A and B are shown apart, each in its own frame.
Chain A
Amino acid sequence: MSVPAESLISLQNVTKRYGKFLALNDITAEIPTGVIGLLGPNGAGKSTLIKMLLGLATLTEGQAQILGYEVTPSNFQTIRSEVGYMPEDDCFIEGIAGVEMVQFAAQLTGYPPLHSLQRAHEVLDFCGTGQERYRQIETYSTGMRQKLKFAQAIVHSPKFLILDEPTSGLDPEERMAMLRRIEMLGERTGMSVMICTHILKDVQQICDYAAVLVDGTIPVVDTVENLRRPLSPSYQVRITGNAEQFMQLARESNVVPSVSPVGVITLEAQRGLTEADIWQWAFDANAGVQSIVPAKVSMEDVFIQVVEGMQHGHQ
């Protein structure tokens, strides 16, 4: 586990019980600043962890810090002023228009009405809501409600943004747009963002770090780059010319080649595979090299490995 010294969230022996059910089991972890993906199967305790950090659920045992503030009732007001939260649940205030709800959220944080209205329009523009903002929320589609929840979470310019399933219910185009917005928030403003999601591709696409929550514990927190690095050296290669001979030369060197339908050759070796070897085989096979890219493991594979590892550990 390689995590920078600056911690966004610090958990020490955090435990949360609902009666006899153990939702969070003695978690000790440091979660760094940046864009973080919080992964976990259903019922792993992701939402419980978020609610506990915001003071929406009480801590049974242990200590937690967020943005350097101890998660205690005396700090709840400060934490909530500096954290934006987009809940997973479909929650809204009935009887008001979208823009009014975002304005309301800003006013609840303590901003004056006029500035709040101006800011509400600003973030709704950022979220790509047009004239629909003047419609009553009850008439909104799921996608519109997602955008609205996102807008209310960022309206007060928080230092840390927690997004619970931000892309669920969005069509592919809207999903990409939402991810671009999140990525931009992290890059342009330096805002830390924690995305709690089942969609592992989203994490793979925009997150700097990933934390995996399984059975109430966090066994893995690392950079996405590190997590996706394969255990054995492997490359993805595109070549022109005699591919069959190129692969034959690779096999002779104890390297396992495989070809994807689009013609990308993945080379996996137990040890000692370098780019120089690939160039040599291409030269010997009289083939041209279009690209050599170190191969990466998908987040799905990482997730499955961690979950299976935990299950084996329990057994």
Chain B
Amino acid sequence: MAINDLGYREWNLAPTRNRQQWRTIAGFGIRVAWRSSWLKRIFIMAWIPIFIMGAGLFVIEQSIQDIDSDEFPENVGRFFVAAIVYQRPEISNLTMMTQFSKQADALTGFLSNLIDGNDVQKPRPTSRRQIMRGGIDFATKDLQFVVNMSDKELQLAFEFINNNTMEQFRNSFQSRRGPPTPLFKQSFSSIKKSQQVAADLLAFDKDANEVIDFRELVNYLRPTLWSEVLFLFFRLPQAFTVIIVIGMVAPKLISRDMKNRAFLLYYSRPITPWQYVLGKCAVVWAFLAGLTTLPAFMLYLLGLSLSPDTSVFFITWDLPFKILLASVILCVPTTLFALTLSSLTRESRLASFGWFAVWIMGSIAYTIMTAVEAIIRLQEQQNTIPSEQAMVFVEAGLAGRWAWLSPMQTLENMQSWVFGIEKQIGSLNISFLMVGLICLACLFILRRRVDAPIRV
């Protein structure tokens, strides 16, 4: 007999945690899942990128700090930042669009000089090498010229820029092998975005000089750079670990309860089906928060603490909220979908298989449908040269008409919207619609399946 054997005695303690039973379900679910050593290993792997990306943020911030320095090695920072800034489509487009203003000025100068009989000096566009060496700056009147451009003029600019880049692309494509990158061709919306950036830069011009210098431009882009680092964190390493971890944890949560008839134990207690669902969702959310939200916050704090300039806090204060929203967008639909699969079978292996199959098959279907669309277009166009044929594939990829087939692309579109990064492939509205419909359908099925044992 145990030394503390008291026989049976009544328990007069009143229940204090009514309506919090979902927390109990979540707590036990987390405890059981966390016993997997593979899960622990994945967690360790998932936290490594924040140190790499934190170091990246430090390098960017340190480079911005030394942006005005002419001495080696500090001036390397300016080159580094200029490279980052110029690779941005809206900035490279804007540099080309401001050339129109300069050429208009040159024409005016030419005519006035012709009348006055002076020598003509034609302005030369800024070369990429100059930009890298000295950074980029914009005259406010050039920016104003871009802001005032009508849609028709923007359309002309769009065609000019694309012809120019197409030429570069063709040369590039013919001179080396390998697939072309879709970023070579700009969409019309990116030209409109450049016009918006011009307006924003004019509003951002704090010293009200005639020129928006490179430091001002960098300060304007700083929050975007931080957002992009965090988006990259969500997009690449975390999105993949999230898929693996959900595939390991979620399929067992409901299917095993069904297999072991644990529903009788749950529902003979004062809990509702919704509390059960919430508890199970919370198990997955806890792991996802540990994989995405917490490391993203850590990355943000690491970036802040490593940044030599404290002002960065005031321009990136909204990022924690964006991290939260991006986490919700990533976690809610994926969790609901995985739990729905789990509720459909007593065999958790089948649910796991279904989960991974949806991600893999979705991406494959998206790629195949895009390729088929491009092939149909190619059949309609006769006598095209190879570079133009490749361009059809690039355009089909950019249009992203079938992006909704890929869960990865759909979630990526929504997260890029949260971080204010315009890298959506396909329509953002369709992405939101798809995710919304899936969430509603999953909630409906989950409720029906979880409710089934007590609906007889």
Pick the interface stretch among B100-108, B113-121, B375-383, B448-456.
Answer: B448-456
Pick the interface stretch among B10-18, B76-84, B418-426.
Answer: B10-18
Whether the Cβ atoms of B454 and A56 lie closer than 8 Å is yes
Q: Give the residues in chain B near A51, CB-CB below 8 Å.
A: 456
Whether the Cβ atoms of A184 and B8 lie closer than 8 Å is yes
Pick the interface stretch among B209-217, B259-267, B358-366.
Answer: B259-267
- Nearest-neighbour CB distance to chain A for B240, whole angstroms, equals 26
Q: How far is the CA of A204 from the CA of B436 in the complex (A)?
A: 60
| Contact status of A111 and B264, CB under 8 A, knowing A18-B456, A56-B453, A95-B35 | no
Q: How far is the CA of A101 from the CA of B456 in the complex (A)?
A: 26
- Nearest-neighbour CB distance to chain B for A22, whole angstroms, equals 14
Whether the Cβ atoms of A125 and B16 lie closer than 8 Å is no
Q: How far is the CA of A54 from the CA of B13 in the complex (A)?
A: 22
Give the number of residue pairs across the A-B interface with Cβ within 8 Å. 131
Chain A positions 48 through 82: 1 when the CB is less than 8 Å from some CB of chain B, otherwise 0: 00010011111000000000000000001110110
Q: Give the residues in chain A near B177, CB-CB below 8 Å.
A: none
- Nearest-neighbour CB distance to chain A for B389, whole angstroms, equals 56
Whether the Cβ atoms of B271 and A119 lie closer than 8 Å is no
| Contact status of A121 and B268, CB under 8 A, knowing A93-B257, A110-B15 | no
A144 at the A/B interface (Cβ < 8 Å)?
Answer: no
A24 at the A/B interface (Cβ < 8 Å)?
Answer: no
> Which residue of chain B has its CB nearest to the CB of A86?
B268
Whether the Cβ atoms of B456 and A93 lie closer than 8 Å is no
Q: How far is the CA of A87 from the CA of B6 in the complex (A)?
A: 26
| Contact status of A185 and B8, CB under 8 A, knowing A91-B261, A96-B32, A104-B24 | yes
Q: Give the residues in chain A near B266, CB-CB below 8 Å.
A: 108
Q: How far is the CA of A18 from the CA of B455 in the complex (A)?
A: 11
Chain B positions 242 through 264: 1 when the CB is less than 8 Å from some CB of chain A, otherwise 0: 00000000001000110111111
> Which residue of chain A has its CB nearest to the CB of B20?
A110
Q: Which of A92, A115, A152 is within 8 Å of B260, CB to CB?
A: A92
B203 at the A/B interface (Cβ < 8 Å)?
Answer: no
Whether the Cβ atoms of B269 and A95 lie closer than 8 Å is no
Whether the Cβ atoms of A110 and B21 lie closer than 8 Å is yes
| Contact status of A126 and B11, CB under 8 A, knowing A91-B265, A104-B24 | no
B5 at the A/B interface (Cβ < 8 Å)?
Answer: yes
Q: Give the residues in chain B near A185, CB-CB below 8 Å.
A: 8
Q: Which of A18, A57, A108, A122 is within 8 Å of B271, CB to CB?
A: A108
Q: Which of B28, B35, B270 is within 8 Å of A104, CB to CB?
A: B28
A112 at the A/B interface (Cβ < 8 Å)?
Answer: yes
Whether the Cβ atoms of B264 and A91 lie closer than 8 Å is yes
B4 at the A/B interface (Cβ < 8 Å)?
Answer: yes
A89 at the A/B interface (Cβ < 8 Å)?
Answer: yes
Whether the Cβ atoms of A105 and B456 lie closer than 8 Å is no
Whether the Cβ atoms of A111 and B15 lie closer than 8 Å is yes
Whether the Cβ atoms of B270 and A110 lie closer than 8 Å is yes
- Nearest-neighbour CB distance to chain B for A111, whole angstroms, equals 6
Whether the Cβ atoms of B454 and A110 lie closer than 8 Å is no
B179 at the A/B interface (Cβ < 8 Å)?
Answer: no
- Nearest-neighbour CB distance to chain A for B15, whole angstroms, equals 3
Whether the Cβ atoms of A108 and B6 lie closer than 8 Å is no
Q: Give the residues in chain A near B20, CB-CB below 8 Å.
A: 110
- Nearest-neighbour CB distance to chain B for A148, whole angstroms, equals 10
Whether the Cβ atoms of A125 and B5 lie closer than 8 Å is yes
B178 at the A/B interface (Cβ < 8 Å)?
Answer: no
B7 at the A/B interface (Cβ < 8 Å)?
Answer: yes
Q: How far is the CA of A91 from the CA of B456 in the complex (A)?
A: 18
- Nearest-neighbour CB distance to chain B for A39, whole angstroms, equals 22
| Contact status of A119 and B11, CB under 8 A, knowing A100-B28, A107-B21, A125-B4 | yes
Q: How far is the CA of A306 from the CA of B443 in the complex (A)?
A: 49
B2 at the A/B interface (Cβ < 8 Å)?
Answer: yes
Q: Which of A83, A121, A126 is within 8 Å of B8, CB to CB?
A: A126
Q: Which of B11, B28, B270, B272 is within 8 Å of A81, CB to CB?
A: B270
Q: How far is the CA of A45 from the CA of B179 in the complex (A)?
A: 70
Residues of chain B touching chain A, judged by Cβ–Cβ distance below 8 Å, are: 1-2, 4-13, 15-18, 20-21, 24-25, 27-28, 31-32, 35, 252, 256-257, 259-272, 453-456
Residues of chain A touching chain B, judged by Cβ–Cβ distance below 8 Å, are: 18, 51, 54-58, 76-78, 80-81, 83, 85, 87, 89-96, 100-101, 104-105, 107-113, 115, 119, 121-123, 125-126, 130, 152, 154, 156-157, 181, 184-185, 188-189
A/B interface sample: 16 pairs, CB < 8 A? A85-B264, A85-B268, A91-B263, A92-B265, A94-B252, A95-B35, A105-B265, A107-B17, A108-B24, A113-B27, A125-B1, A130-B2, A154-B8, A156-B11, A157-B10, A188-B8
The 6 closest A-B pairs by CB, nearest first: A110-B15, A157-B11, A91-B261, A108-B269, A85-B268, A95-B32
Given pairs A56-B454, A57-B456, A90-B260, 9 additional interface contacts (CB within 8 A): A56-B267, A91-B265, A93-B28, A94-B262, A108-B21, A110-B20, A112-B16, A122-B9, A152-B265
